[in-house]
Amino acid sequence: MLLMEKIEAKILVVDDDQDVLLAAKLFLKQHIKIVHTEPDPGNIPTLLQNENYDVILLDMNFSRDATSGKEGFHWLNVILGIDPAAVVIFITGYGDIELAVQGIKEGATNFLLKPWDNKKLLAEIQANLKLRESKKELEDLRTKKKILLTNANEPYEDLIGQSPAMLKVLATVSKVAVTDANVLILGENGTGKELIARAIHRASLRSKEVFVSVDLGAISETLFESELFGFKKGAFTDAKEDRAGRFEAASKGTIFLDEIGNLSFPLQSKLLSVLQNRKVVRLGTNREIPIDVRLICATNMPLYQMVNDSKFRQDLLYRINTVEIQIPPLRERIEDIPLLAEHFLTVFCKKYKMPFKRLAPATVKRLEKHPWPGNIRELEHAVERAVILGEGTILQPHDFFFNQSDDDKEPDLQSAGYNLEETEKLLVRKVIDKHGGNISKAARELGLTRASLYRRIEKYGL
């Protein structure tokens, strides 16, 4: 005799009649992996907090009120309040059709009479297991969409910049956002390419839909198709369920492909095919799924040179750069440094619950002189570190610790000639750097008081 494989599911039966519970358990245990029974409905909240049931069989009438069904409706509402995706089947000994209709209106999925037919009970549970799966998928999608919409607006409320270079970028953003054109954003690391992509999305006709960001540099070649195009259960070893890819998740919204220059030639071909056909095929299937997404790509790599070197497909480049936006490095938008620094000061003082701090004029000058090879990201980290470690509420130049590399082009004492002020400036700076920004030690070596050294720091903008 062949034993039937049990259904992977967890069932809860709630009824105050022990004979009903025993009969249900004896039968269902033959077909269902886990069956729990409970005579006291008062224990439902505790049970649902500890377990996740696929189907709940709920008695409509308990001993306190044998015929009205009010207790059943009460506990139905309790269940749905704890788990909105719960699937509840009412069971009762009274065949009142109006009560059945009311129960379904209240949120039950169906209504079974006691004593039930075992085959009908099993068929009803199997049908409701599929319904439970659908409700969970819908709830997951709603949750994911809510999170994505929230995240789309979290990193920054507005773009910050008043320099001519950034005003030009902002003008392009406002023009392209209202179209559905593909956009390619170019710029060094840390310049805010994703921020620009989010700004385009927020100003577009798709702003109420999802923004899906994909870091192509972090996805291995073996995971590329499953991550972007999705897969069917069993398509590969770890594919334990059907899953939509990033393109499907971005349906009706915007997909942002960051670090697109990192894709290998074979992966470029697969991406190009999807962009041309506007369809994806999940791994393990042959079914084409139409996609409707706004495409924004970004990279810090020289794509045009890569095309010349046969490292990037020319047809893919033409496909993704209907409009091209070049983000200037921070060293080319010096006017924006004070604005950005003040913005980050506000953010991190609030984050670390510290009194608001300001930048001394000499500090602003020092920040403007730094080349910022890491761009806005480097400035952000520098301000965060200064907020945490800086002394007092006015941040001085020594509160920021810069790499010696940015001083490589600075003149030495001999190149200063016999200009007394220039010589003093260079000497003060070298001694401060020697002591890692420790003003007390620097002042002691220079034979100055701390106050005198601070006056020279502010005078020379160090």
175, pLDDT greater than 80? yes
Q: 15-48 pLDDT, tens per residue?
A: 988 988 999 999 999 999 999 999 999 999 888 8
Q: 76-134 pLDDT, tens per residue?
A: 888 887 777 789 998 877 666 677 677 788 888 888 888 888 988 898 898 888 888 77
pLDDT for 270 equals: 95
329: left (phi over 0), alpha (psi -120 to 50) or beta: beta
Residue of 237 and 89 predicted with greater confidence: 89
Question: What's the rounded Cα separation, in Å, for the pair 462 and 460?
Answer: 6
Amino acid present at 341: A
pLDDT for 36 equals: 94
CB 300 within 8 A of CB 187: yes
Give the pLDDT band (50/70/90) at residue 203.
very high
pTM: 0.58
Helix (H) / strand (E) containing 55: strand 55-59
Phi and psi angles of residue 299, each rounded to the nearest 5 degrees, phi first: -165, 155
Q: 380-411 pLDDT, tens per residue?
A: 999 999 999 887 888 988 889 775 444 444 44
pLDDT for 131 equals: 82
Give the pLDDT band (50/70/90) at residue 142.
low
Mean pLDDT of 268-274: 96
Burial of 338 by CB count in 10 Å (0-12 exposed, 13-18 middle, 19+ buried)?
A: middle
CB 86 within 8 A of CB 79: yes
Q: 240-253 pLDDT, tens per residue?
A: 888 889 999 998 99
Q: How far apart are the first and last CA of the chain?
A: 89
Please provide the size of the chain in residues.
Answer: 462
Mean pLDDT of the chain: 84
Mean pLDDT of 179-199: 95
Q: Is residue 406 helix, strand or coil?
A: helix
3, pLDDT greater than 70? no
Q: Please, which residues bridge with residue 91 across strands?
A: 59, 112
Alpha helices, DSSP H only, in 301-438?
303-308, 314-320, 337-351, 361-369, 375-389, 420-434
pLDDT for 273 equals: 95
Going along the chain from its start, the domains and CATH numbers come out as: 8-136 (3.40.50.2300), 155-328 (3.40.50.300), 332-460 (1.10.8.60)
Strands 394-395 and 55-59: unpaired
pLDDT for 243 equals: 85
Mean pLDDT of 352-365: 90
pLDDT for 139 equals: 58
